[in-house]
Structure 1
Amino acid sequence: MRLNHLDFHVPDIAATADFFIRHFGLRLKDMRGNNGLAILEDDAGLEIVLSHAIAKFGTADQVELQRQTYHIGFILPERADVDRVHAGLVADGVAFSGPPAAMRGGWLFYCTAPGNILVEVGWRPG
């Protein structure tokens, strides 16, 4: 079994898609409607779906809730890659919980993507 996709409810689909495309190399597979739904894909075929919150489920997203109820993580092949991604995010004015640091046997940091999505970026020795 393989994880196929994740679906995140965000208020600004285009801004969130742009963040993951520019900083994490995801590709835009499909954009439906005018900022209505985006499907992003990584090199392994995992899809991240960005959509608006659904009315029948209360229309809440993490921006409206004003809290981060989950996070997603990216693992990079080299420790230097973590520092490189961090530098690119710093240049774009992204919010961080702190700089890259040694944590849980690896080198990582946390930042916030548009849509109030907490993102972990790390490297762990093989």
Structure 2
Amino acid sequence: MRLNHLDFHVPDIAETADFFIRHFGLKLKDLRGNNGLAILEDDSGLEIVLSHAIAKFGTADQVEIGRQTYHIGFILPEKADVEAVHAGLIVAGAMLSGPPAVMRGGWLFYCTAPGNILVEVGWRPG
């Protein structure tokens, strides 16, 4: 069994999609409606779906509730890759936890993506 997709409810689908495409190399697989739903894909086939909050699932996203109730993580192949992503996020004015640091056996940092999604970016020695 493998994880197929994650669906994040965000207020601005285009802004959040652009963030993940520019900074994490995800590819736009499908865009539906006028800023209605975006499907992004990583290089291993995992899809990240960005959609608006749905009434039957509580009608709120993390911006609306004002909390980060989960986080996602990207693992990079080299320590230098973490530094490069961090530098790009600084230039873009992203919300960062601070510089990369040694945590839980790896080299990592956190940032907040549009939609109030907490993102962990790290490398771990193999």
Query: Do they fold alike, i.e. is TM over 0.5?
Result: yes
Distance 2:60 2:100 in 1: 31
4+ residue segments displaced more than 3 Å: none
Counterpart AA for 2:70: Y
Query: Which residue in the other structure is 2:94 paired with?
Result: 94
Distance 1:74 1:3 in 2: 14
| RMSD, aligned α-carbons | 0.6
Q: Is 1:64 aligned with 2:37? A: no
Structure 2 SS opposite 1:109: strand
- Tell me the alpha carbon deviations over residues 72-105 of structure 1, each in whole angstroms, 9 at most, x when there is no partner: 0000000000000000000000001111001011
Structure 1 SS opposite 2:99: coil
Query: Which residue in the other structure is 2:111 paired with?
Result: 111
Counterpart AA for 1:10: V
1:1-126 aligned at under 5 Å gives the runs 1-126=1-126
**What fraction of aligned residue pairs are identical, expressed as a percent?**
87
Equivalent pairs counted in the alignment come to 126
Structure 2 SS opposite 1:20: helix
Counterpart AA for 1:70: Y
- Tell me the alpha carbon deviations over residues 24-61 of structure 1, each in whole angstroms, 9 at most, x when there is no partner: 00000000000000000011000000000002333110
Counterpart AA for 1:86: H
| Structure 2 residue runs without a partner (length 5+) | none
